[in-house]
Structure 1
Amino acid sequence: MISYLKGKKVEIVKNTQNRLFLILEVNNIGYEMQIYSRFARQLDVEQDELLQVFTHLQIQEDKQILYGFPTLVERDLFRQLTAVSGIGMQLAIALIDTLGISELVGAIVTSNIPTLTKTPGVGKKTAERIALELKTKLAEWHKISNISGVEVQQPDAVFAPKPEIKEDLEMTLLALGYTNEEIEQVLTALSQDNQLLKNNNVEEWIRSAIAWLSGE
């Protein structure tokens, strides 16, 4: 098992599924690992600087995928999430990318379902399952980990479209090629529109989202 890799950043590339991959050169070997946009934004380093990336290796029948994380805490949280029934690697990545460590752990420990459902692909039932299965584990994990800078707290209340509208909107935007980060941004923006929040027409939400994303 590879715990971490330390090397030089070669480049960050995006594949046809809008997933980000970091190419890290370690002892003249280039390792390709999937990362997330929140992590990618932190990688504004010179190419001759050494970079330590904590990793998780997923082995499938036809391929192996290496996932990269900036800290041991995020790697361990990723593993906790993927242990939940029905939570795959990409959904776990999306949760960490959308909410960040502090808000995500806080939302799980306090069962803040609206906050968890801010993540594209996470509906109410999935959020409830995550909170149910990890609430006690993460509360204890946080205590024994003694993680500086990670505070478990109740996130601010949020307004959001109804779950069925949110799900249809996310699926449509993903199909149109928008990233999870863009979808999170537009949901946050549209959820401040009191008139739109009262509108149960998903087509109106989609039109508004595309208009916002297009800068119209």
Structure 2
Amino acid sequence: MIGQISGILIAKQPPEVVIDVNGIGYEIQMPMTSLYELPDVGEPVTLITHFIVREDAQLLYGFNSFAERSLFRQLIKTQGIGPKLAITMMSGLTAHQFVQAVVQEDFARLTKIPGVGRKTAERLVLELADKFKQWGSATPATDAAPIDTSGLQPTLTPHRPQDDALDALIALGYKPAQAEKAIAAALKTEPDATSEVLIRFALKSM
């Protein structure tokens, strides 16, 4: 089990990052709410990780705190929720916001997440509400202090920021037309924004 990765952040391609550890690049998928808090490319970083081995793949998921990873693990134990959907859930809402939505039975908020219909939202409330109450409202929040993402370096990619943002939103389960519309609206507000900032604006608007 790989429980933690420390190294140099060498690429951001939301919702994935690459961390160099002694010359080996680890590809790690992250919720966007966690990725927002990462330092610039080229800076040292430490992530709490969850490692999944399947017949056709070995997948590594990264988080900024043990509480975020704990939430992820609770989600993938829930019937019908796999790692990809769990990452999508944690991308649209912070860990704290997601826990509050479940505890308060906020079905309208939960069903805005791609892949989460009414039945899935009801299952989340049924299986997790009591567990989340035991954690307390502050437990799932990230340990890392939020940083201003406006000065983040562009990802190491030849694509435009809006192309990277579109790819990330589609990877999270949003429909291309819906993602394009949200990014276009974000560009009107932040025409020179990085892909991460565009994703953040887009997720808030959807």
Give 1:52 deviation, angstroms. 0.9
Which residue is 1:91 aligned to?
85
Residues 33-61 of structure 1 deviation map (CA, whole Å, 9 limit, x = unaligned): 112333332223251x3211011111101
In 2, Cα distance between the equivalents of 1:113 and 1:103?
A: 13
Which residue is 1:21 aligned to?
16
Q: Does 1:60 align with 2:54?
A: yes
Which residue is 2:125 aligned to?
131
Distance 1:106 1:37, change over 3 A: same
Of structures 1 and 2, the one with the larger relative CO (CA 8 A, separation 6+) is 2
**2:32·2:92 contact (CA, 8 Å) conserved in 1?**
no
Match of 1:33 among 28, 34, 47: 28
- Bigger Cα displacement from structure 2, 108-117 vs 80-89: 108-117
Residues 124-175 of structure 1 deviation map (CA, whole Å, 9 limit, x = unaligned): 11100011000111111237xx63867xxxxxxxxxxxxxxxxxxxxxxxxx
In 2, Cα distance between the equivalents of 1:210 and 1:87?
A: 26
Unaligned runs of 5+ in 2: 143-165, 189-206
In 2, Cα distance between the equivalents of 1:177 and 1:52?
A: 25
Tell me the TM-score normalised to structure 2 length. Answer: 0.67
Distance 1:111 1:124, change over 3 A: same
Q: What SS does the aligned partner of 1:45 have?
A: coil
Q: What SS does the aligned partner of 1:114 have?
A: helix
Which residue is 2:12 aligned to?
12
Aligned length: 162
What amino acid is the match of 2:112?
Answer: K
Distance 1:40 1:62, change over 3 A: same
Structure 1 runs of 4+ with >6 Å offset: none
Q: What SS does the aligned partner of 1:6 have?
A: strand
What amino acid is the match of 2:37?
Answer: Q
Residues 95-144 of structure 1 deviation map (CA, whole Å, 9 limit, x = unaligned): 1110111110001112111111121111111100011000111111237x
Distance 1:11 1:87, change over 3 A: same
Distance 1:7 1:129, change over 3 A: same
Distance 1:212 1:98, change over 3 A: closer
Give 1:29 deviation, angstroms. 1.9
Which residue is 1:169 aligned to?
none
Give 1:65 deviation, angstroms. 0.4
Match of 1:179 among 163, 169, 183: 169
In 2, Cα distance between the equivalents of 1:214 and 1:115?
A: 23
**2:28·2:60 contact (CA, 8 Å) conserved in 1?**
yes
Which residue is 2:107 aligned to?
113
Match of 2:75 among 61, 77, 81: 81
Give 1:6 deviation, angstroms. 1.0
